[in-house]
Amino acid sequence: MGRSSKKTALGAGIRLDSFLPYRLNRLAGEVSRRLSAVYSGRFGLDIPEWRVLATLSSRGMATAQEIVASTRTHKSTISRAVATLTERGLVERTGSPSDGRELVLQLTDSGLRMMSELVPLVLEAEQEILGQLGVEERAQLLKAIAAVEAALGLGDEEGTS
Amino acid sequence: MGRSSKKTALGAGIRLDSFLPYRLNRLAGEVSRRLSAVYSGRFGLDIPEWRVLATLSSRGMATAQEIVASTRTHKSTISRAVATLTERGLVERTGSPSDGRELVLQLTDSGLRMMSELVPLVLEAEQEILGQLGVEERAQLLKAIAAVEAALGLGDEEGTS
DNA sequence: GGGAATTAGTCTCAGTTGCAACCAATTGTA
DNA sequence: TACAATTGGTTGCAACTGAGACTAATTCCC
């Protein structure tokens, strides 16, 4: 009780609205929520599953390990997502001839069909979210993100190809 | 099987490295992870607990409801965080005289002391993360985040006071 | 004033995730 | 070839989180 007379509360204070990690998190959470509405409803995908499909769609093929690295999602989470996607016939795994431990993943025809339906919807949602930003602002935002990632020592796993 | 000859994979493809929600999420997750190392270790706080303390530190006092709104964290999560913080003697709840349902929260002296130790460390970690960015770039990043939030129709709960 | 509708906060339950132990295949080394 | 160390992937377990039911207090409206 005896803290009333001093403004110590502000002395120890942090200004949350200019604290970048806080703002970043809040925004990312909200964006995630909106996007997931697109693929969870009609397509019955959760976030890790979407990430796997998106990565495969972006790369053509990949091992689970590569997906882990590029999405920075825990390997057990990816493993489970791949398992259910395989059961649903959207992804197929073939043993690598060069290394018998790894499984090469790629979209099945059915998976490709789903993605060709889903991707435009997701991109549309992205447009809606980024509505206010001009093309340049958008590019700057991406650049800023890349710079922070670089500062964190995160290599860009996605090649330019 | 028969998908090999066409480049359908790229036809249905999405370029993840220019897909903003994806980049945003990845970055926010990594930033969160780094920051939480600061307050989880010596101070034994988890993310929701940190958010409660930070909000109280920023505002002086607040109801659980206000913390829910400004952090966009689920009310049951906030409720649990407040409970453990109260048990630890870092936060105190007093019944509101005007509305008997709500509990007004504020940091105890002990909570204030902890925050005055913790906040500088957190800010230091922020500096480290944002290291590469110049002051202007940083401001632009905040501005871009605010613009996206506005596009999402998220009011700025933090007043300017 | 009195009953329906609303709001603050807590609690239980189910689903999700991360950690860590584990199995299998490969690589390095003698 | 044999044996340790490493790496890809899976699974059991524990902790965390969100949804939603529930209680208590308040407000709305007749």
Query: A50-92 pLDDT, tens per residue?
Result: 999 999 999 999 999 999 999 999 999 999 999 999 999 999 9
CA to C1' distance (Å), from A99 to D1: 21
Q: Counting one residue from A and one from B, how many pairs have CB atoms under 8 Å apart?
A: 215
Contact residues, chain A, for B141 at CB < 8 Å: 20, 141, 144, 148
Q: Encode chain B in three state secondary structure.
A: CCCCCCCHHHHCCCCHHHCHHHHHHHHHHHHHHHHHHHHHCCCCCCHHHHHHHHHHHHHCEEEHHHHHHHHCCCHHHHHHHHHHHHHCCCEEEEECCCCCCCEEEEECHHHHHHHHHHHHHHHHHHHHHCCCCCHHHHHHHHHHHHHHHHHCCCCCCCCCC
Are the C-beta atoms of residues A61 and A105 closer than 8 Å to each other? yes
CA to C1' distance (Å), from B8 to D15: 42
Give the pLDDT of residue B52.
Answer: 96
Residue of B16, B115, B133 with shortest CB distance to A55: B16
Read off the pLDDT of each residue in B84-103 and give the average, rounded to a whole number.
Answer: 93
d(CA A105, CA A92): 6
| Helix (H) or strand (E) run with residue A106 in it | strand A103-107
| Helix (H) or strand (E) run with residue A122 in it | helix A109-129
Cα distance from B129 to chain A (closest Cα, Å)?
6
B64 touches strand C (CB under 7 A): yes
Read off the pLDDT of each residue in B78-94 and give the average, rounded to a whole number.
Answer: 96
Segments in chain A below pLDDT 50: 1-10, 157-161
Residue of B3, B19, B158 with shortest CB distance to A16: B158
Q: Is A5 exposed, middle or buried (0-12, 13-18, 19+ CB in 10 A)?
A: exposed
Residue of A18, A119, A137 with shortest CB distance to B14: A119
Are the C-beta atoms of residues B81 and B52 closer than 8 Å to each other? yes
A103 touches strand D (CB under 7 A): yes
Q: Is the Cα dihedral A12, A13, A19, A21 positive or negative?
A: positive
Give the pLDDT of residue B74.
Answer: 95
d(CA B17, CA A160): 9
Q: Do A20 and B142 touch (CB under 8 A)?
A: yes
Name the band, by pLDDT with cuts 50, 70 and 90, for residue B137. Answer: confident
CA to C1' distance (Å), from B98 to D26: 10
Read off the pLDDT of each residue in B92-121 and give the average, rounded to a whole number.
Answer: 93
